[in-house]
């Protein structure tokens, strides 16, 4: 199915649990471990994404550290295409390019291997579990574009709409979110 039914969306949404006050007071953490161990909900999600991106002829999936790796690698296997990680600074062993971005307090930095894509004309999708302020995904989008490939879309399982992160990321590529909350 290319479009998810309301019922299917509800099954996926119900499989994600809220953990209040994690990692600090006032934050409601969206825990996707309960989606991963629910084969019906996870199957519906991956089938949906497979159908959507099969039609777009994506050639690489870029997953964001760390939960984006799980969704991205599952999807890449289904589509029979390559997977590329964007990691937090200092984790990738080869030559990298990096991008700093602002957090509520201070900065963070993400990296990609310089030679991550062997086809420089490739069509690429970025995926992560959740978009909040859009800072992480925007930095990743800058990195992907800096390698010269075409960034076709940024995909998120959950979009925390009240933080308006989509607006920021849309400056780099179209955004698709499975569930808006
Ligand atoms: P942001 O850069 O603000 O869009 O934050 C997105 C990143 O932080 C993603 O990698 C998410 O996994 C994580 N994140 C931010 N807020 C939450 C939340 N409420 N629950 C779970 N993960 C979150």
Confidence of residue 1 (pLDDT cuts 50, 70, 90): low
Determine the atom of ligand 1 nearest the C-alpha atom of 27: 19
Instruction: Report the residue count for the chain.
Output: 181
Cβ–ligand 1 distance for 111 under 6 Å, the answer no
Does residue 57 surpass a pLDDT of 90?
yes
User: DSSP string of 80-130?
Assistant: T-EEEEEEETT---S-EEEEEEE-SSSEEEEEEETTS-S-TT-EEEEEEEE
Does residue 19 surpass a pLDDT of 80?
yes
> Catalytic amino acids?
67, 104
Place of tokens 């296997």: 77
The pLDDT value given to residue 129: 98
Q: How far is CA 47 from the centre of its chain?
A: 16
Cβ–ligand 1 distance for 135 under 6 Å, the answer yes
The pLDDT value given to residue 105: 81
Question: What is the tens place of the pLDDT at every residue in 64-100?
Answer: 999 999 999 999 999 999 999 999 999 999 999 999 9
Question: What is the tens place of the pLDDT at every residue in 93-152?
Answer: 999 999 999 987 889 999 999 999 988 899 999 999 999 999 999 999 999 999 999 999
For ligand 1, atom 18: residue with the closest CA: 29
Return d(Cα 110, Cα 31) in angstroms, integer: 22
Does residue 2 surpass a pLDDT of 90?
no
Segment 160-181 shows an average pLDDT of 98
Cβ–ligand 1 distance for 59 under 6 Å, the answer no
Does residue 18 surpass a pLDDT of 90?
yes
Backbone angles phi, psi at 69, to 5 degrees: -65, -40
Segment 25-52 shows an average pLDDT of 97
**In the chain, pLDDT over 70 holds for what percent of residues?**
99
Mean pLDDT of the chain: 97
The sign of the torsion formed by the CA atoms of 99, 164, 63, 116 equals negative
Does residue 3 surpass a pLDDT of 90?
no
Q: Which of 130, 138, 177, 181 to mutate to test the pocket of ligand 1 (most atoms within 8 A of CB)?
A: 130
Which CATH code is given to the segment(s) 57-180? 3.40.50.2020
Determine the atom of ligand 1 nearest the C-alpha atom of 165: 4
pTM of the model: 0.97
The pLDDT value given to residue 103: 87
Determine the atom of ligand 1 nearest the C-alpha atom of 128: 10
């Amino acid at each position: 199915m290319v479009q998810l039914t309301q019922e299917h969306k509800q099954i996926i949404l119900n499989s994600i649990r809220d953990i209040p006050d994690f990692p600090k007071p006032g934050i409601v953490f969206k825990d996707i471990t309960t989606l991963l161990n629910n084969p019906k909900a996870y199957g519906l999600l991956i089938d949906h994404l497979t159908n959507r991106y099969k039609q777009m002829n994506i050639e690489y999936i870029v997953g964001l550290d760390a939960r984006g790796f799980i969704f991205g690698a599952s999807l890449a296997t289904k589509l029979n295409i390559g997977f590329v990680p964007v990691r937090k600074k200092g984790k990738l062993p080869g030559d990298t390019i990096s991008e700093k971005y602002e957090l509520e307090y201070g900065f963070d930095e993400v990296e990609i291997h310089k030679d991550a894509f062997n086809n420089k004309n490739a069509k690429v999708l970025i995926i992560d579990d959740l978009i909040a302020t859009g800072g992480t995904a925007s930095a990743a989008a800058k990195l992907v574009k800096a390698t010269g490939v075409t960034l076709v879309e940024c995909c998120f399982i959950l979009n925390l709409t009240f933080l308006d992160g989509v607006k920021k990321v849309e400056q780099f590529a179209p955004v698709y979110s499975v569930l808006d909350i």
